[in-house]
């Protein structure tokens, strides 16, 4: 199920004459119509010759632009891959642009199992950004091809830097490798077809992957869900022969003083149920479990990094299908904890399974709860395909937006307008599962807020991440982001956990 190959990352000094690899990656920007190689490991004469060739070939230095050149004297590497840095001046280059350039180069490498990256890397922060970009860009999904590509996937990357001997680098390189592995594994789960990845097999994949980590996995099957009153999961998953699951994954170090609960939407395929979706584009609904994949790999990464914080992931898994036992519009479901919901649209199913997860997670009284879901098309209408919406308690929202900016994952804070709450009132139940159409992303969050528990009479600090657009890329690959499953938000959630553990 999760088959992404591993990757070795290391740092080397600036003298590469005796270093060998399949490809050497260089960075280029274009200033005043001339291509300029930056951080070149070669002599000024060799670098000038390379720049003349790049200018003659029309290299523009724009992001994602690759130019291939033959190796040069002074290097054992036979192929040079020159990646555009996307800026005109070196002083303008940010860590995220460097991360994207390294990731784009790694993604576009061909016939390279080993590579040396000679990009601007005069600080440990820049080396970390390059390493992370490489780890994110080195990805290929071929699990279901009868004939695999003969081109190798990058397995070893060496980063040329003047700070190669810094004592801080080993931990940063390990972190980059762990994050890259977690994101690639998330992509593997998202890209898996729904006849392979369904609630039961997803739960099995979680158990198998967790065996080598200090994680405790608990799986609630349909019988246990019925016994305990998880009406949202059962209502959404009832129409499928593949019955729902609630998977709880715990990382609980002995000295942890803080606890984060992560709740992920895991609709392994979403037809819309009785409120059937249009056929066009429905194949992408295998990605409706991206939230569950992200929270699972977040807790796995936190465990591998050994952070001193308790993290519990709740994977709310169901397949939303039309069938004889499907929920109908107008049906009333009793959610975990006792609240009742009138289902006015069965294609607003994600909030139903998430409500069960939020209510269950609340019983453990965590310090913070964060739920993440490909929840609404309204998110894409409001923020586009690359920017997630974050809403909820003000401080948690503010902190999440800040760390997302730090790691390079686009996010924007959204409000929870009080006037939207009356729109989810029901005539026959406590709540309705849809309300005001305008601002639908926020209406969905207002619904979820009803299931966030309290501790000593105060709501548990909570935030909701809607990443319907960023989770699955149906357009062209860019930077370190491939087509299809992206692994979005894993790095944000890990960085948030690191921040909370440090504080």
Q: Which residues belong to the active site?
A: 277, 351
Q: Which residues contact 185 (CB under 8 A, 6 or more apart)?
A: 2, 4, 209, 297, 300
Lookup: tokens for 160: 């040329």
- Distance CA(356)–CA(372), nearest Å, equals 14
Containing 181, the helix (H) or strand (E) segment is helix 169-191
Q: Which residues contact 318 (CB under 8 A, 6 or more apart)?
A: 199, 233, 236, 237, 240, 244, 245, 266, 267, 268, 349, 353
SS3 115: strand
- Distance CA(174)–CA(186), nearest Å, equals 18
Q: Which residues contact 443 (CB under 8 A, 6 or more apart)?
A: 378, 420, 423, 424, 434, 435, 436, 437
Q: Are 29 and 36 in contact (CB under 8 A)?
A: yes
DSSP 336: T
CB atoms within 10 A of CB 145: 8
β-pairing verdict for 216-220 and 66-70: unpaired
Only one residue has tokens 């992931």, namely 313
CA-based angle 460:355:469, to the nearest 5?
95
CB burial of 470-497 (b: ≥16 within 10 Å; e: otherwise) equals bbbbeeebbbbbbebbbbbbbbbbbbbb
Only one residue has tokens 């807790």, namely 299
Lookup: tokens for 410: 């686009």
Q: Are 331 and 267 in contact (CB under 8 A)?
A: no
- Distance CA(442)–CA(440), nearest Å, equals 5
Only one residue has tokens 């830097």, namely 161
DSSP letter for each residue of 145-172:
-SS--SSPPP-EEEEE-TTTT-TTHHHH
CB atoms within 10 A of CB 367: 15
DSSP letter for each residue of 436-460:
-STTHHHHHHHHHHTT--EETTEEP
- Distance CA(61)–CA(35), nearest Å, equals 7
């Amino acid at each position: 199920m999760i088959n992404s190959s591993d990757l070795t990352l290391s740092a080397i000094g600036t003298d590469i004459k005796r270093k060998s690899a399949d490809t050497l990656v260089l960075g280029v920007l274009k200033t005043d119509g001339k291509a300029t190689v930056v951080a070149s490991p070669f002599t000024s004469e060799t670098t000038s010759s390379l720049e003349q060739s790049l200018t003659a070939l029309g290299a523009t230095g724009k992001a994602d632009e690759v130019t291939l050149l033959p190796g040069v004297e002074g290097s054992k590497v036979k192929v040079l891959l020159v990646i555009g840095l996307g800026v005109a001046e070196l002083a303008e280059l940010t860590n995220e642009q460097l991360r994207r350039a390294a990731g784009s180069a790694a993604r576009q490498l061909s016939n390279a199992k080993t590579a040396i990256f000679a990009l601007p890397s005069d600080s440990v922060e820049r080396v970390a950004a390059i390493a992370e970009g490489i780890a994110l860009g080195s990805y290929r999904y071929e699990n279901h091809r009868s004939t695999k590509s003969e081109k190798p996937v990058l397995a070893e990357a060496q980063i040329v830097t003047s700070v190669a001997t810094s004592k801080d680098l080993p931990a940063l390189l390990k972190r980059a490798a762990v994050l890259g592995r977690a994101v690639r594994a998330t992509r593997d789960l998202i890209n898996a077809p729904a006849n392979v990845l369904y609630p039961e097999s997803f739960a099995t994949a979680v158990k198998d992957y967790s065996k080598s980590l200090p994680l405790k996995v608990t799986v609630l099957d349909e019988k246990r869900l019925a016994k305990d009153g998880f009406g949202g999961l059962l209502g959404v998953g009832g129409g499928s022969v593949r019955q729902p699951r609630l998977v709880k994954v715990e990382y609980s170090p002995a000295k942890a003083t803080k606890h984060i609960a992560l709740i992920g939407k895991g609709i392994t395929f979403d037809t819309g149920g009785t409120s059937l979706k249009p056929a066009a584009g429905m194949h992408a609904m295998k990605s409706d479990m991206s939230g569950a994949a992200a929270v699972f790999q977040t807790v796995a990464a936190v465990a591998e990094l050994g952070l001193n914080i308790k993290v519990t992931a709740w994977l709310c898994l169901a397949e939303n299908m039309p069938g004889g036992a499907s929920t109908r519009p107008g049906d009333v479901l009793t959610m975990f904890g006792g609240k009742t919901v009138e289902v006015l649209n069965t294609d607003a199913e994600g909030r139903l399974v998430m409500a069960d997860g939020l209510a269950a997670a609340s019983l453990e009284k965590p310090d913070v709860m964060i739920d993440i879901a490909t929840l609404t098309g309204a998110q894409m209408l409001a923020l586009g395909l690359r920017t997630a919406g974050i809403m909820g308690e003000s401080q948690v929202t503010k902190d999440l937006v800040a760390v997302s900016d730090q790691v390079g994952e686009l996010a924007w804070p959204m409000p929870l307008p009080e006037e939207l709450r009356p729109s989810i009132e029901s005539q026959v139940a406590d709540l309705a599962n849809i309300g005001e159409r305008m601002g639908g992303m926020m209406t969905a969050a207002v619904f979820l807020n009803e299931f966030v528990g309290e501790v000593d009479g105060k709501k548990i600090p909570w935030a909701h991440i809607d990443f319907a657009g960023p989770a699955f890329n149906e357009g062209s690959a860019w930077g370190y982001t491939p087509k299809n499953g992206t692994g979005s938000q894993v790095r944000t959630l890990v960085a948030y956990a690191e921040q909370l553990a440090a504080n």
